[in-house]
Amino acid sequence: MILPIKPVAALMLAYWAAFGVAEAQQYPTKGIRIVVPTVPGGAGDYTARLVARWMSDAWGQPVIVDNRPGAAGNIGADIVAKSVPDGYTLLMPITSFPINPSLYPKLPFDTLKDLEMIAKVALGPLILVITPSLPATSVQALIELAKSRPARLNYANSGNGTSAHLAGELFKKMAGVDIVSIYYKGGGPAIVDVITGQVQIYFSTIPAAIEHVKSGRLRALGVTSLTPVPELPNVPAVAEAGVPGFEVSVWFGILGPTGIALSVKRKINQHIVKSVQTAEARERLAVQGLVPGSGGLDELREFLRSDIAKWSKVVRESGIKAE
């Protein structure tokens, strides 16, 4: 007897659903590799090693971090984009990942077509700091000062296309001020020159600036998240203190090549979302100035798409070029 088409289709759907559940239950059956496109030691590497430990402890399989630096993170991303989509090769990209498609028009992979975001592990706001000699004690006062001195105030740019650089350009646009970008090869030299007054303004990571803020060598005016952060409870959000809607957060997530089984992606996502909410995870992330991430797969797909679009507009309007 030949079954009608609809019952056959229903049976096939039930079969594949059961297969997907079984696949997720069995995953992982071997070691997992997390590619990190930087040298060891940075916040991304640190966060990837936390994820590796969470996965290994929960699933009893080795999870290694494979550092593949170079080409603004694009070498490591390309390795994962071209890997077998089985869930055993994953990526934790550097913070410029959503910016790179606008800076590098000839990437060897398509960011949105070849890679999928599986989990948002952590977010890290920046902090707007100024040299103490500058006569401004709030975001609004800084804006007024900058408007009274067009093109005379400088902000440190820790590398073309970095989060600090894009934050400065976004601030210029949204606050309506004319401040000049001064290029530095990294955040270390940039923050030293803000302390000494060689430049006046900098959007720093919180760990790099917090001790200087506490000692008075830097003055903190605002954080770039939409709300204050626990480490700096008396520092308002820039969005609340003078530039409504201003938000810049670096993020660290787990991505994989397009095509990983939905059941496997859900298993990874749910485990990471659960792991980052523990007290230990919050404490360890706070060391790097980070807060736990969240989000289901559909939400993360839209998050990545909107983040790329946001920075594409900033790059295009400011005329930023890759170094």
pLDDT tens string 107-138: 999 999 999 999 999 999 999 999 999 999 99
Q: Which CATH number fits domain 125-241: 3.40.190.10, 3.30.450.20, 3.40.50.620, 3.40.50.150?
A: 3.40.190.10
Query: pLDDT tier at 254 (50, 70, 90 boundaries)?
Result: very high
Contact 265, 121 (CB under 8 A): no
In the three-class reduction of DSSP (H, G, I as helix; E, B as strand; rest coil), residue 155 is classed as: strand
Is 5-124+250-318 in CATH node 1.20.120.450? no
Residue 172 has pLDDT above 80, yes or no: yes
What pLDDT does residue 8 have?
Answer: 56
Query: pLDDT tier at 1 (50, 70, 90 boundaries)?
Result: very low
Q: Do domains 5-124+250-318 and 125-241 have the same CATH topology?
A: yes
Strand boundaries in 131-248, DSSP class E: 154-157, 180-183, 201-205, 219-223
Per-residue pLDDT tens over the stretch 41-72: 888 999 999 999 999 999 999 999 999 999 98
What pLDDT does residue 3 have?
Answer: 46
Domain positions in the chain: 5-124+250-318, 125-241
How much of the chain exceeds pLDDT 70, in percent? Answer: 92
Contact 93, 185 (CB under 8 A): no
Query: pLDDT tier at 167 (50, 70, 90 boundaries)?
Result: very high
How many Cα atoms are found within 13 Å in the side-chain-facing hemisphere of 131?
Answer: 18
What pLDDT does residue 10 have?
Answer: 54
Please compute the mean of the pLDDT values over residues 83-88 and round it to a whole number. Answer: 98
Q: Find the radius of gyration of the CA atoms of the chain.
A: 22
Residue 16 has pLDDT above 80, yes or no: no
In the three-class reduction of DSSP (H, G, I as helix; E, B as strand; rest coil), residue 320 is classed as: coil
Per-residue pLDDT tens over the stretch 288-308: 889 999 999 999 999 999 999
What pLDDT does residue 15 have?
Answer: 46
What pLDDT does residue 7 have?
Answer: 58
Residue 299: CB atoms within 10 A of its CB come to 12
Q: Tell me the whole-structure pTM to 2 decimals.
A: 0.85
Please compute the mean of the pLDDT values over residues 205-226 and round it to a whole number. Answer: 94
> What are residue 33's phi and psi, to 5 degrees?
-115, 130
What pLDDT does residue 6 have?
Answer: 52
Buried b / exposed e along 4-35 (16+ C-beta atoms within 10 A): eeeeeeeeeeeeeeeeeeebbeebbeeebbbb
Per-residue pLDDT tens over the stretch 178-203: 999 999 988 899 999 999 999 999 99
CA angle 14, 15, 21 (to 5 degrees): 90
Distance CA 14, CA 307 (A): 36
Strand boundaries in the chain, DSSP class E: 32-36, 63-67, 89-91, 115-130, 154-157, 180-183, 201-205, 219-223, 249-257, 291-292
On average, the pLDDT of the chain sits at 91
Query: pLDDT tier at 19 (50, 70, 90 boundaries)?
Result: very low
What pLDDT does residue 18 have?
Answer: 47
Q: Which residues, 6 or more positions from 129, have their beta carbon under 8 angstroms from its beta carbon? A: 194, 201, 202, 203, 204, 209, 212, 213, 218, 219, 220, 221
Query: pLDDT tier at 230 (50, 70, 90 boundaries)?
Result: confident
β 115-130/201-205 pair status: antiparallel
Distance CA 286, CA 122 (A): 10
Q: Give me the amino acid identity at 252.
A: F
Please compute the mean of the pLDDT values over residues 70-75 and round it to a whole number. Answer: 93
What pLDDT does residue 300 have?
Answer: 96
Q: Which residues, 6 or more positions from 318, have their beta carbon under 8 angstroms from its beta carbon? A: 169, 172, 173
Q: Which residues, 6 or more positions from 161, have their beta carbon under 8 angstroms from its beta carbon? A: 72, 96, 99, 100, 103, 315, 320, 322, 323
